[in-house]
Structure 1
Amino acid sequence: MAQKTKQWGAIIVMIALFAMIAFVTNLCTPMATIIKNQGPISNVLAQIGNYGNFVAYLVMGIPAGLLISKYGYKKTALGGLVVGMVGIAIQWFSGQLNAQENLGLVFAVYLAGAFIAGLCMAILNSVVNPMLNVLGGGGNSGNQLIQLGGVFNSSAAVACYILMGALIADVSKARISDASPALLIAFAIFAIAFVVILFTKIEEPVKEEKESSTLTTGQLIAGALGFRHFALGALAIFLYMGIEVGVPNFVQQDLVAQGIPVATVGLLVAVYWFMMLVGRFVGASIGSKVSSRAMITAVSTATLVLVLFGMFAPSDVLVNFPGVNWSTLELIWQPIPLGTFSLLLVGLCTSVMWGAIFNLAVEGLGRFTAIASGIFMTMVFGCAVMMAVQGYVADLFGYNASFWVVVFCAAYILFYALVGSRVSRRDEA
């Protein structure tokens, strides 16, 4: 009984961290709307927060895995939370500077804060995913627990978009300082999480020190990448980030450009993350019965259908799309193009991709699992790359054409599900 109590305590903490990661990470997309309206700023430059946040994964992904190997999951999580509080504080400070006098300085300070906060996200993601997979027992059960964590992750993302939509109702006058309440909430969440984890008993997974202690970091990295299904899975995560963040990000920019009030757009885009919440709830419900490969095959195919339909649907055909005004608890209906409606439904598909890809990619890695988690987190910087690519395409050819980038990403993930994820060998050490 004591063993179960310890495990459930760790599970609850890991799921709470999963939610916190989403809230802080998703601040970057609404902030892009604020930044883009500070002056004649391109779609590429507007994503400055996403660049800082996700490039940090490139820097911290593998070191995070090494920190876990040396200090364990609990101490690594606590250190990550301290880093996160510093990053949020710097972002808040950037909003207190006078943007009219020195907009470049404001951007530089904000970028630094986003980067430091991203270091925290990389550390916490490196802790949460393998811990939930291990606590769930690996396989389908491990995937099920990761999907359950994803339910709370999506809930926090929905809350973030609703809050930011309310804070930047008039985008033409919005400044970074307008996001201060959201940043202070994020700081408080970090602080509370630190205290809770500090006093929570977390049972560390058994380390296979004898097998891995004789290997250098380079040998561990090479060993993990030597598994074909893992290497291809790492690339799948790189491209997956372009779908998960790219779709709501550029749908939001497109709807704002069409003249829809930002507060309303925030409520509409929050539905994308609500779709992810629904999808992850379903994924958690069936995760022990449906294989990760089957999940990815189904949702990547559906993503291709929805995005292609969204791109080619007649722009003059409008549908009423629902949103919830949480301040008055009223349902709102906003006419949007039929294609945009289709794109927002992609949230149902991206909901289970992360957990299922991770679950397949680390199958059979044995002693290389810890470093593999770090490599996985490094690949999350693909969001920064894919945001820049899609933003560049949007600047050249418009928002609609930019979704060809998403089509490419979804096609590769379908390939990974059908071919690339097949395990050709396992670690027998």
Structure 2
Amino acid sequence: MAGSTAIPGQTNQLSTGGNENYGFALTSLTSLFFMWGFITCLNDILIPHLKAVFDLTYTQAMLIQFCFFGAYFIVSLPSGVLVKKLGYQKGIVIGLVIAALGCASFYPAAAMQSYPVFLIALFILASGITLLQVSANPYVSILGKPETASSRLTLTQAFNSLGTTVAPFFGAFLILEQAATEVGNAANGAEAVQMPYLLLAAMLLILAAVFAYLKLPVVADTQVEDGEEIIGSAWQYRHLVLGALGIFVYVGGEVAIGSFLVNFFADPNIAGLEEAEAAKYIAYYWGGAMVGRFIGAGVMQKIAAGKVLAFNAVAAVVCICAAVFTSGTFAMWAILAVGLCNSIMFPTIFSLAISGLGKHTSQGSGILCLAIVGGAIIPLFQGMLADSIGVQLSFLLPIVCYVYIAYYGLIGSQFKQVNS
């Protein structure tokens, strides 16, 4: 899932000895990656469910992703300030509590049968997830030897993908199947989300209690030496600016496709599946990303990352075209195959964009993290297209996103020295 890459440029150091075993700490942190992948993917279940409950247009339904990913843009920088002041461990605890509050807010939202209150609850939940990512991502990278940081991050990101793969089954069983038994009853349809999200709130609070009592290593920030002046700005680097746009369109395209899968599979011309059954197939979309991440890691040891990125983007364009211009199960599996193409895109764009930034790496990383707001904007525009030309043709928008990513992999990512 987007946003699960650690923030480079954080040259923090452990204040405790460097020979300690951080296995338990890393195991605990891995559970966080699983949880936020799980919760984020549930949005793909919420969208068709709340659309039916409140009789929404596709544009209105996409406000779910707008509020969720909009929190990344609004909360990321304040979260960084908070973590710098309180430390990573306290940041994790506070993030878990805020996310739990957001989950618990689904209960009154359903009781009030209010879509705006659901959106507020989602924003609160996403704010907690954002704080978790700002706290946990760089923390994982410094818990152990620097030369093995990449392997640790790959492992934790795999569990993030595992969360996105499991979530559709959870949502299909506890939300969509439950709601299906209450056809025509909007109140009970809305209330189908209450118990699942209360359960998530309880799990998040348990994790918060665990992290509050864990004896985790303290991290000292040594990113910039006292008195050191950084000349220039990350905005000077063309490949960084183009990379930020790449992150924007990638996250937007990935999230937009996932958001429409249930409705796409329910189309009689595609698969004609019931919502609860269609939701289970979302696991193939996110599961493909999990499998492809490991395949891509091996391939990129032999082939330049930019070329692999461009190849995957072109493959995604081919798959989406097949989904748009054909029908039946072939179209269904074609759009699911895009998940496999997505696998290496976020971390690859991220790493290419910050390459060669030197002392501007931290600023560049922050710019790229803000670009995740694409997950709020592009699904909204696809919703507008779906309302005007239909769900199937609305997938033409993600094609534009992947064409740009192919350009970035081949041309836009090339580093040009900047005099500073």
TM-score range, shorter chain: 0.7 to 0.9
Distance 1:6 1:372 in 2: 32
Superposed, 1:172-321 pairs within 5 Å as 172-173=183-184, 175-198=189-212, 199-202=214-217, 204=219, 206-210=221-225, 223-258=233-268, 259-283=272-296, 292-313=305-326, 315=327, 318=328
Residue 358 in 1 paired to residue 350 in 2?
A: yes
**Gaps (5+ residues) in structure 2?**
1-15
- Post-superposition offset of 1:63: 2.2
Distance 2:198 2:227 in 1: 41
**Aligned partner letter, 1:301:** V
Distance 1:144 1:357 in 2: 18
Distance 2:307 2:153 in 1: 16
Distance 2:140 2:418 in 1: 21
* Structure 1 pair 295–62 and aligned structure 2 pair: CA distance change class (3 A): farther
Name which of structure 1's ranges 365-374 and 180-189 shifts more when overlaid on structure 2.
365-374
Q: Deviations over 1:252-293 (max 9, x none)?
A: 112234342112111112221221221123345566666543
2:34 aligned partner: 19
- Post-superposition offset of 1:196: 3.3
* Structure 1 pair 130–63 and aligned structure 2 pair: CA distance change class (3 A): same
Distance 2:248 2:132 in 1: 18
RMSD over aligned Cα, in angstroms? 3.0
On the 8 A contact 1:54/1:118 being kept in 2, the answer is yes
TM norm structure 1: 0.82
Name which of structure 1's ranges 302-311 and 339-348 shifts more when overlaid on structure 2.
302-311
**Gaps (5+ residues) in structure 1?**
100-105, 319-336
Of 411, 414, 423 in structure 1, the residue corresponding to residue 406 of structure 2 is 414
**Aligned partner letter, 2:236:** G
On the 8 A contact 2:18/2:144 being kept in 1, the answer is no
**Aligned partner letter, 1:361:** A
Aligned residues: 394
On the 8 A contact 1:240/1:409 being kept in 2, the answer is yes
Distance 2:286 2:395 in 1: 18
SS in 2 for 1:393: helix
Of 78, 100, 111 in structure 2, the residue corresponding to residue 85 of structure 1 is 100
Distance 1:138 1:356 in 2: 19
Identical counterparts, % of pairs: 27
Distance 1:135 1:293 in 2: 29
On the 8 A contact 1:133/1:143 being kept in 2, the answer is yes
Distance 1:252 1:238 in 2: 23
- Post-superposition offset of 1:296: 1.8
* Structure 1 pair 390–133 and aligned structure 2 pair: CA distance change class (3 A): farther
Distance 1:422 1:138 in 2: 26
